[in-house]
Amino acid sequence: MSLLRVESLRTFIDSADGTLRAVDDVSFDVSSGETFALLGESGCGKSMTALSLMRLLPDAGRIAGGRVLLDGCDLLALTEAEMRQVRGRDLAMIFQEPSTSLNPVLSVGRQIGEVLSRHTPLRGDAAKRRAVELLDAVGIPDAPRRLEEFPFQFSGGMKQRVMIAMALAGDPRLLIADEPTTALDVTIQAQVLELLGDLQRSRGMGMLLITHDLGIVGQLAQRVGVMYAGQLVEVAERRAFFERPRHPYSQKLFAALPRPARRGAGLETIPGSVPSLAASFAGCRFAERCAHAWARCRSEPPSWHGTDAGHGVRCHLYAPGAAPVDRAGAALPATPERDDRQPVPAPLLEASGLKVHFPIRRGLFKRTVGQVRAVDGVSLGLTSGRTLALVGESGCGKTTAGKAILQLIRPTAGSVRFGGEELTALGGERLRRLRGQMQIVFQDPYASLDPRMRVGDIIEEGMGALKAGAAAAERERRTVGLLERVGLSGEMRGRYPHEFSGGQRQRIAIARALAVEPRLLVCDEPTSALDVSVQAQILNLLRELQASLGLAYLFITHNIAVVEYLAHEVAVMYLGRIVERGSAAEVLGDPKHPYTEALLSAVPRLDAQGQRPLIVLRSDLPSPANPPSGCHFHPRCPRAMPQCARDYPTETRLDDTRRVRCLLYG
């Protein structure tokens, strides 16, 4: 008997646009000790399914039908008072964003204690001892002290661990994990995933994992369900799903993933977007985006078809008499790729010994008592038509380095030469004119686009400020051309940012950057919050623009899959310094620095045979205000030697393009 059985669940949300069918006839089951993964794009209904199981719907939401059986007990038939006893004790949830899920004015111990007092007989010292045990179990060091601290005193990875400890406090039989690693670095993500797997095996819990990351699915799940527009369209065992996904939507998700084998080729994309769930669907909900759709798909809803043992799909292609479709083409035809190690022209950008230190001021007179060494001696070069990826954990100084190169933050020391001109010595009108050749695409298009301005005005603003296309008619013509260049319609220039999807907003941000005809584009995590299908569109666009315009990209990211696909060179940054750099093939194929090895080992792979042994780092990133002595990485390094605590390694040249800072190679 299944631990959890969901039968024909339907959840509707009343809105101004009509009734949204957020979850529409969804059925699946989860056994004890099993992980069932719900996969799909944003807006497909994954999180709403989880909230329906917990009965934590928004005020406008309602469960319109179906059953949710937990060990045979129908949760939808319980009163709210009875359901409060189930939440936390039998059924617990890890929410997607720990920063907003934890109460900022209550200590961590108080919040864990609330769960214990609600669902266990523990009180007082016994409850405190149990809370310490829970923090120890999720890998938080010095648990008795951290128990008295508040959420703002924890890093993102630590906050996620606190959320896991709270979820486990009631010893639940089923754990729902909603995008538990979305905002985490790959090293912290690896720790959290390993922790979840260990806890599940030791406790025999069932787990419902909600994610859009296929690598995480391949690492944790035993079975997979793919959701689209409120419905499950495919359910299969993990191995069968990864070997041969059946539904055209599942095939498109695989084809959209950036992989090293697809370097030099365009990624498969899914045209259009998830349809409005307020619409009335006559046929298949994926039909308008499906390359295999025919008349029946638009007029008749597909039934559920079993193709193999445990493998089901909702698609007319598998109906009796229809020829099954094989896996859709994984990518566009490859094009010859330049060798990353070939000689390149003189650099367009050269940064040498770049430092950005922020003063720490305290006391009545705000005296400087220390420095935050955000960037501490970075040197790198970038050539036109090539991409340099700057990778590392959050807090290592990547974004600060990018802003300092563009002089958006004035460096404390060092040199930045652009086209042979020293930027740190410039100011006023000369620097203002050069800004047209250096632009940035920020990480969050929601925050970087003015919500009160129309899209056309946002794009034209830079032209007017830098006198690029002075006549209004010329600026409007160029705006239309830029929108079409990034895959949008010129007619959209009169809309506001809130009328676009996340991927479309990122395209607008790219169009704004291109409006002043730059030679260098700093891309700060431009795909971090996007679904895999939208990410593929942005990567294809950046690749096409580089090929046609000869743009140089400084690509700041912690997504190694994107680096493998797009970058020519890679620089690995740790605590304000570059610890390894070289061609993408060298650094990613044969990492030398232990930190690079740990980063790459933490990346979940679709192919288990290509997965490196996991290297779990011992602790979190140290503070740049008080870096460790010697090599900054030595407290976390699995290969540290006594001299690593005394001496910071000088840069060792391994070959013409390869550099590393490590005493193992000194």
What is the number of alpha carbons within 13 Å of residue 27 lying toward its C-beta? 10
Chosen domain end from 112, 146, 171: 171
Q: Which of the 8 DSSP states describes residue 270?
A: -
Q: Cβ atoms within 10 A of the Cβ of 74, count? A: 13
610-616 own/partner pairs: CB under 8 Å, 24+ apart = 614/190, 614/194, 616/190, 616/191, 616/194
List, for residues 446-476, the tens digit of each pLDDT value.
Answer: 788 999 999 999 999 988 887 766 678 888 8
Give domain status of residue 224, yes or no. no
Give domain status of residue 370, yes or no. yes
Residues 577 and 663: their CA atoms lie apart, in Å, by: 15
Q: Is the pLDDT of residue 647 over 60?
A: yes
Give domain status of residue 50, yes or no. no
Strand partners, 435: none
Q: Is the pLDDT of residue 661 over 70?
A: yes
Give domain status of residue 516, yes or no. yes
221 close to 37: Cβ distance less than 8 angstroms: yes
Give the pLDDT of residue 398.
Answer: 92
Average pLDDT over every residue of 241-248: 93
Q: For residue 143, give its domain range.
A: 98-171
Give the dihedral sign, CA 141/143/147/149.
negative
Give the pLDDT of residue 533.
Answer: 81
Residues 174 and 184: their CA atoms lie apart, in Å, by: 23
List helix spans (H) across 204-272.
214-220, 238-243, 248-255
Give domain status of residue 229, yes or no. no
Q: Is the pLDDT of residue 537 over 90?
A: no
Chosen domain end from 171, 193, 215: 171
Identify the residue whose tokens are 């290297």. 615
Give domain status of residue 397, yes or no. yes
Q: Is the pLDDT of residue 213 over 90?
A: no
Give domain status of residue 437, yes or no. yes
Strand partners, 10: 24, 65
List, for residues 325-365, the tens digit of each pLDDT value.
Answer: 543 433 333 433 444 545 556 789 999 999 999 998 888 88
Which has the closest alpha carbon to 620: 396, 373, 367? 396
Distances (CA, A) of 34 to 211, 231, 238, 623: 16, 22, 12, 38
Give the pLDDT of residue 568.
Answer: 95
What percent of the chain is predicted at pLDDT more than 90? Answer: 52
Identify the residue whose tokens are 């584009």. 521
**3-state SS assignment for residue 358:** strand
Q: Among 247-261, 329-343, 489-503, 642-656, which is the least confidently predicted range?
A: 329-343
Distances (CA, A) of 657 to 344, 354, 586: 11, 20, 9
Q: Is the pLDDT of residue 609 over 80?
A: no
Q: Is the pLDDT of residue 293 over 50?
A: yes
**3-state SS assignment for residue 342:** coil
Average pLDDT over every residue of 87-110: 89
Average pLDDT over every residue of 5-27: 91
**3-state SS assignment for residue 330:** coil
Which has the closest alpha carbon to 180: 155, 204, 209? 209
Residue 537 region, left (φ>0) first, then alpha (ψ -120 to 50), else beta? alpha
Distances (CA, A) of 165 to 108, 153, 565: 10, 17, 37
Number of domains in the chain: 2
Q: Which of the 8 DSSP states describes residue 267?
A: B
What CATH number does the domain containing 399 carry?
A: 3.40.50.300
**3-state SS assignment for residue 416:** strand
Q: CA 415 from chain center: how many Å? A: 32
Q: CA 423 from chain center: how many Å? A: 33
Sequence-distant (≥ 6) Cβ neighbours of residue 347 within 8 angstroms: 381, 382, 383
Q: Among 145-149, 346-350, 500-504, which is the least confidently predicted range?
A: 500-504
What six digits make up the tokens of 493?
């220039």
Which has the closest alpha carbon to 40: 222, 199, 168, 228? 228
Q: What is the band of 280 on the pLDDT scale with cuts at 50, 70, 90?
A: confident
Q: Among 393-397, 539-543, 551-555, which is the least confidently predicted range?
A: 393-397
Chosen domain end from 127, 154, 171: 171
SS3 content of the chain, % helix, strand, coil (to 5): 35, 25, 40
Give the global pTM.
0.82
Q: Could you write out the DSSP letters of every residue in 509-563?
A: HHHHHHTT--SEEEEESTTTTS-HHHHHHHHHHHHHHHHHH--EEEEEES-HHHH
List, for residues 159-212, the tens digit of each pLDDT value.
Answer: 888 988 899 898 899 999 998 876 677 777 787 788 888 888 888 899 999 988
Strand partners, 9: 26
Residues 532 and 269: their CA atoms lie apart, in Å, by: 9
Average pLDDT over every residue of 527-544: 83
Three-state secondary structure of 178-210: ECCCCCCCHHHHHHHHHHHHHHHHHHCCEEEEE
Give domain status of residue 376, yes or no. yes
